A = this chain, B = another copy of it.
Amino acid sequence: MRRVAVVGVGCTRVGELWDKSLKDLIVESTLKALDDAGIEKIDTIYVGNALSQILQRQGNLGSLTVDVLGLEETPAISLEAADASGGLAFHEAVKAVKFGWADFVLVVGVEKMSDASSSEVAEALMTFEDQDYVAFTGINQAGLHALLLRLYMEKFRVKHEEIAMFAVNAHKNAANNSYAQFRSLINVEDVLKSPIIADPLRLLEYSTIADGSAAVILCPLEEAKKIKKNPVEVLASTIATDRFFLFERVDMLTFNSTRKAVKKALEEAKISLQDINLVEVHDASTILGVLSLEDLGFVEKGKGASFVAEGHISLDGTLPTNTFGGLKGRGNPVGATGVYQIVEMVWQLRGEAGKNQVGNAKVGLTHNLGGTGSYATVNILKGNLT
């Protein structure tokens, strides 16, 4: 087994990119990543996408990606794991390098959602849930998150204000991120006065519809050191699942996918949670952000909201979280999100995060969920290797 490093990252702006097609997005992020790595040759491509077959009616993305990049001798593999598609593509690419299948691997996550209406998107997102027993009822993803939010507040006697602070932090961090969809500062009153989208969940608590693509280039660490002065090592990359239906789980407020994935990741990285300086968690909604911090083990179950409200997750807090705005602030182009998390973590670990640079960014964790926690990917990255 070989040690694996990230040598190049790149991404497009996240937002309603009317003038860019799915292909344009793939090309833009990839060229940036190749440029960042300073290489031209790629051995294998992993593509993460969740919705294009529905929203653009475009499948077969492996072949399409090879074609638009003009890399016709390069095998390409397209993967889907709902919202965790980007995370899964990264995971498979890490395996490919680690186990010697390929030397230089491109991971590209892409999603284009704004061409569709919001109801079409809501419907498309429900393909991530069980059709026979969950989607069948007519509930949508926001509805499922609202259910968790209400349950959490009642079970742990937590105020909505505390949970809403997750979105305030997200927008604050996004404000300095030129790639972010939402760069406006908001306060907790703004969140709680915003329209209800599924009672009690408010509009400003929920990630929106976005287009974007992010790309990462991986290679063996030994190679990386030769071509890049500041490679970032992938200490661990794991995937895990939980019961498919939310309501078949022993505790709906605990995602075992996350718990299993982080446990395996810490073992693989041979570090403890205390060694992690900053995180990117899957805040598709405020409540998912809070639950994820708990499931990852950074704070006890039921204490996540006060942890957030006390400012621990801010850039100068004890656990800087979603430092470029996360799903809520940077935006959530679904199948690309897991790859955006890697790009942003790499910027932090290389000390290239500008105004949002975290002082002690040595080891970072990224966490990408699929469905309502039925799928999880966790990665642990380390910078400052010299």
Contacts and interface: CB of A to CB of B under 8 A. Distances in A.
Interface residues of A, number: 56
B131 A63 contact: no
A382 B346 CA distance: 45
Given A75-B240, A77-B79, A79-B78, A60 B129 contact: yes
A53 B75 CA distance: 24
A127 B72 contact: no
B57 A127 contact: yes
Contact of A67 (B96, B239, B243): B243
A78 B75 contact: no
A79 B79 contact: yes
24 contacts: A23-B132, A54-B54, A57-B131, A58-B131, A59-B80, A59-B127, A59-B128, A60-B80, A60-B82, A60-B127, A63-B81, A63-B244, A63-B370, A63-B374, A63-B375, A64-B244, A67-B245, A72-B243, A73-B260, A78-B79, A78-B80, A78-B81, A79-B79, A95-B96
A85 to B, nearest CB: 9
Q: How many copies of this chain does the complex contain?
A: 2
Nearest to A1: B100
A321 B110 CA distance: 39
A171 to B, nearest CB: 29
Pick the 3 closest A-B CB pairs, nearest first.
A99-B99, A67-B244, A59-B127
Contacts of A95: 96, 101
Interface string A41-68: 0000000001001101111111110111
A76 B67 CA distance: 28
A371 B63 contact: yes
B241 A67 contact: yes
A234 interface: no
Contacts of A61: 80
